[in-house]
């Protein structure tokens, strides 16, 4: 297997720590991981996001997830985080 760096030089990795729910699990899904389908969430549409994030599920706690996202601009990322925190619409957090 070839070694592939997690982030390019100059970029940074932001680790999101969150809980999922087994209730989301369906027969067509092999896990209860939250959806990462792009929506109107600016995290998914920002050009500062270098590539799609990687969702990691904790082995001993299947409701616990980490999402690793690679970003090129820490200021843009922080601005988007503030915007999402201020937005009261649950839909924008998907």
CATH number at residue 26: 3.30.70
* Residue ranges making up the domain that contains 85: 12-93
0.85 surpassed by pTM? no
Residue 51: its H or E element:
strand 49-57
Is residue 69 one of the residues assigned to a domain?
yes
pLDDT in tens, the chain (94 residues): 666 677 778 899 989 898 877 555 543 344 444 454 556 778 888 999 987 788 899 999 999 999 999 999 999 999 998 988 887 555 544 4
For the chain, counts of helices (H) and of strands (E): 2, 3
CA distance 2 to 55: 21
Contact between 57 and 65 under an 8 Å Cβ cutoff? The reply is yes
Q: Is the residue at 2 inside a domain?
A: no
User: Quick check: 71 and 6 in contact, CB under 8 A?
Assistant: no
Enter the tokens of residue 83. Answer: 């915007």
The answer to the question of residue 20 being in a domain is yes
State the total domains in the chain. 1
């Amino acid at each position: 297997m070839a070694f592939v760096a997690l982030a390019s030089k100059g970029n940074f990795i932001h680790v999101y720590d969150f809980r999922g729910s087994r209730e989301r699990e369906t027969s067509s899904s092999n896990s209860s991981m939250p959806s990462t389908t792009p929506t109107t969430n600016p995290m998914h549409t920002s050009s500062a996001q270098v590539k799609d994030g990687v969702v990691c599920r904790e082995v001993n706690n299947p409701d616990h997830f980490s999402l690793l996202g690679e970003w090129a601009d820490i200021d843009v990322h922080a601005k988007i985080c503030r915007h999402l925190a201020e937005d009261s619409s649950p839909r924008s957090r998907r």
